[in-house]
Homo-oligomer: A and B are copies of this chain.
Amino acid sequence: VIAPGPARIALSLAGPGLRRDLAAIVGEAHVSNGEADRLAYSRDLWPKTILWAKEGLVPPPPLVVVWPGSAEEIAAVVRFAVSRKIAITPYGAGSGVCGGTVQVEPGIVLDVKRLDRVTRIDLSTREADAEAGINGEILEHHLDHAGATLGHFPSSIYCSTLGGWLAARSAGQCSSRYGKIEDLALGLTFVSGEGELVRTRANAAGPDLAQLLIGSEGTLGVITDATLRIAPRPQARHFGGWRLPDVDAGVEAMRRIFHAGLRPAVVRLYDEFDTLIGGGGRKGAEEPGEGHAGPSKKASRFMRAALRTALDHSKILNAFAAHAPGGCLLVVVGEGGEAEMAAEKEGVDAVLREAGGASLGEAPGKRWLSRRHAVSYRQSPLIEAGGFVDTMEVALRWSAVADLYRAVRAAVAPYAFVMAHFSHAYVDGASIYFSFAGTGKDPEDLLVRYDATWKAALDAVMKGGGTLSHHHGVGVSKAAWMPAEHGASMRLLRALKLSLDPHGIMNPGKLGL
């Protein structure tokens, strides 16, 4: 098992010498080995750490936290870490849900949030330059002020950074129109594991070297800034809500929309149960299982009650869910130019009508948009009830989408209750966003079932031709599946690691490296 085990807190390990040496690089004010900082940086939003925390356990806290103020300072910190053979974990805003910033061996957490400048916004060339530590919402605010948008809206936008997006190969909710972050990056700068500052351009001759760093999750270096493709702020939007007969009809409609050349920013299909308890976008309903921290308040209440009865009956609950009445809700939001949007709405509506969809008007789309960043931090009710919740998002070719959805449901059924929505769509395929909720007889049993849920789910994903992640990344939680994901090409990743981080100090244990 690559995932780090939790440890009783032992904060006395961090020597003051380390703090002093780093202070010489970044300044006294920008380094800390205080207990509060070390505890705060010992975990991110990986749900397993919450289960641990209930038992008074945390992952190994870092020895020290640094906040460098420039790429040069980052390079100096890395070179210092090389000289001392100390692990470095780059850190953005800590919103990752796979333990990507959880330290496997205690070392230095390098927070890049002080690198937060936007140095250029040029709509005439559609480019912006920004530093890696900038908060996503603040970046979008700067762009909006200039009449622009990045078009990148992960539900974590209030608590994630540009660097984190690049490191984890993030997708925004509108990626169907604007592309994922790897499509938006025209180049980036990073500090390698040897402390060298390297600039890459996506369109330079030879292989696209910027792509090596995108998705590398801090294992190859620290991303310090990027050049991004921006778009003009949309002039118009269109909204839709549709009821589709079932998942198959909905998935097929999504495929047809994107294969018709239409590019609505958002098309989300909720499975029968996600529709029933989440009610995605219906009047009076809250958003279904969405984002990092699990289901909404209403969903949580339901699940909490369900958990009591489902303690050993998740199979029955899942079987019930499979026959939930009411069909599937599909939400559409388009954005772009005035005329373009009119034509796009007409095209999307035609496909959905032909697929057997019944229009629910604009309200579901509007409601979804207004609440799209309403990430819930209310995990506690479920946890307090002795349960766990987590989410898994995978990318699939169209040929695999419907079958894999069913395979994961079946595989997880013995361990947890499952619901899902089909969250992003492209010409090439779609992503499915699963929400799991389960319980255990006691804390130990809970962790056993939590792990069993993930194992069953990811094994089914691998078998069904899906990928380990569409946008959350791998971190430590999925690291053990990387060889299954990559086969012989895992060797390429290991070779990259050896080349760019020969001392093995960069975020050890992540991505299976």
Contact = CB atoms under 8 A, between A and B. Distances in A.
Contact of A204 (B127, B339, B428, B468): B468
Interface residues of A, number: 68
Interface string A222-260: 000000010010000000000000000000000100011
Interface stretch (A58-66, A304-312, A380-388, A495-503): A495-503
Nearest to A497: B499
Nearest to A229: B428
A360 interface: no
Name the residue in A182, A199, A467, A496 with the highest tally of chain B Cβ atoms < 10 Å from its Cβ: A496
Given A125-B399, A126-B259, A127-B397, A206 B199 contact: no
Contacts of A474: 205-206
Contacts of A429: 125, 203
B482 A199 contact: no
A186 interface: yes
A395 interface: yes
Interface stretch (A12-20, A85-93, A152-160, A211-219): A211-219
Contact of A337 (B200, B212, B261, B478): B261
Interface string A113-137: 0000000001011110000000000
B491 A229 contact: no
Nearest to A180: B203
Nearest to A395: B203
Interface string A481-493: 0100111110111
A196 interface: yes
Given A124-B398, A473-B205, A487-B199, A212 B499 contact: no
A213 B474 CA distance: 23
B467 A201 contact: yes
Given A214-B208, A398-B125, A511-B206, A489 B261 contact: no
A198 interface: yes
Given A124-B398, A398-B125, A207 B496 contact: yes
A25 interface: no
A126 B192 CA distance: 38
6 contacts: A125-B429, A200-B486, A201-B467, A204-B468, A205-B215, A495-B496
